[in-house]
C-alpha cells in the first residue's frame, strides 16, 4: 500500500530564489517537518541523477560539490518552460521514495532539463538556510554519498558502454540511481553522521572522481 506522507511545492521569484510550502498528510511537529524537508533534498537529487541527461546531472554534481565545499552562490534564473514543481514523498512499506512533478510549458528560453538542474541547485541552498544544523548535517552526508555513487558507480557503468551519450539518459542509469534512492531513508533513520575530518576526506575523493569523469568524457 502506498501512502503520500508529504507534498512539497516549490516556487521561485524572478531572481531564481526558491521558496517552498510543505503539506504533511499525517500529524507532525516542527522537527518532523524539518526532517521531511531535509530528507527530500537527497531523495530528489539522487532520483533525478538517473532521469536527467548525463550532461545536466554532471553539472548538478559540480554545483552540489561546490555547496558541500562551502561555496556561496547567487541563485540562477529559472525560466520557462519550467513553470512550477512539487515533490511528493511516498511511503512504500519501510521506504520513503520521491516523485517529482515538474510543470513544463511549451516554448521557453532554456532546455527543460537545464531549468530543473537550476531548480535543484537552488533547492539545496534554500534547504540549507531553512533547516536546523542537525538536519543540515544529515543532508550533507547523504548528498555527498549520492554524488559519489553517481560518479563512481552508476555513471561509470554507462561511460564504459560505447553507445554512451551525454545527451541521453538510459534505463540502466535510472534503475541504478533508483536503487540508491531506495537506500536513503534507512540510512536517514540511523542519523547519518561523519566526523569533519572524514567528511573532508570523502569530499576530496569525490571531487577527484568528478575531475576524472570530466577528463574521461571530454578528452580530445
Whole-structure pTM value: 0.95
| pLDDT attached to residue 193 | 86
Give the DSSP per-residue string, the chain. Answer: -EEEEEEEEEEE-TT--EEEEEEESS---HHHHHHHHHHHHHHHHHHHHTTS-HHHHHHHHHHHHHHHTT---PPPP--TTEEEEEEEEEEETTEEEEEEEEEE-SS-SS-HHHHHHHHHHHHHHHHHHHS-HHHHHHHHHHHHHHHHHIIIIIHHHHHTSTT--TT---HHHHHHHHHHHHHHHHHHHT-----HHHHHHHHHHHHHHHHHHHHHHH--
Position 208 scores a pLDDT of: 97
Total residue count of the chain as it appears in this document: 220
Nearest 5°: the CA angle 164, 167, 168 is 60
Render each residue's pLDDT in the chain as its tens digit; 220 residues. 459 999 999 999 999 999 999 999 988 999 999 999 999 999 999 999 999 999 999 999 999 999 999 999 999 999 889 999 999 999 998 899 999 999 999 888 889 999 999 999 999 999 999 999 999 999 999 999 999 999 999 999 999 888 899 999 899 999 999 999 999 999 999 889 889 999 999 999 999 999 999 998 877 4
Q: Is 214 exposed, middle or buried (0-12, 13-18, 19+ CB in 10 A)?
A: middle
Alpha-carbon gap, residue 107 to 82, rounded angstroms: 10
Grid cell for residue 92: 512504500
Report pLDDT for 113: 95
Name every residue whose Cβ is closer than 8 Å to that of residue 217 and which is 6 or more positions away in sequence.
Answer: 58, 159, 166
Domain map of the chain by residue range? 2-218
Cβ contact 90:5 at 8 Å: yes
Amino acid at each position: 500500500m502506498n501512502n503520500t506522507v508529504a507534498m512539497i511545492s516549490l516556487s521561485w521569484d524572478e531572481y531564481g530564489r526558491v521558496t517552498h510550502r510543505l503539506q504533511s498528510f499525517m500529524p507532525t511537529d516542527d522537527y518532523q517537518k524539518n526532517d521531511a524537508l531535509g530528507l527530500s533534498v537527497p531523495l530528489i537529487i539522487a532520483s533525478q541523477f538517473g532521469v536527467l541527461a548525463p550532461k545536466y546531472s554532471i553539472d548538478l554534481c559540480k554545483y552540489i560539490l561546490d555547496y558541500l565545499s562551502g561555496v556561496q552562490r547567487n541563485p540562477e534564473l529559472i525560466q520557462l518552460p519550467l513553470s512550477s514543481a512539487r515533490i511528493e514523498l511516498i511511503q512504500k512499506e519501510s521506504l520513503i521514495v520521491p516523485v517529482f512533478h515538474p510543470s513544463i510549458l511549451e516554448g521557453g528560453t532554456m532546455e527543460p532539463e537545464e531549468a530543473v538542474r537550476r531548480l535543484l541547485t537552488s533547492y539545496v541552498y534554500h534547504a540549507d538556510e531553512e533547516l536546523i544544523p542537525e538536519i543540515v548535517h544529515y543532508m550533507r552526508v547523504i548528498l555527498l554519498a549520492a554524488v559519489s555513487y553517481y560518479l563512481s558507480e552508476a555513471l561509470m557503468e554507462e561511460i564504459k558502454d560505447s553507445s554512451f551519450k551525454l545527451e541521453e539518459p538510459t534505463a540502466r542509469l535510472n534503475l541504478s540511481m533508483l536503487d540508491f534512492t531506495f537506500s536513503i531513508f534507512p540510512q536517514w533513520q540511523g542519523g547519518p553522521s561523519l566526523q569533519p575530518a572524514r567528511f573532508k576526506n570523502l569530499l576530496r575523493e569525490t571531487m577527484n572522481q568528478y575531475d576524472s569523469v570530466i577528463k574521461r568524457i571530454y578528452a580530445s
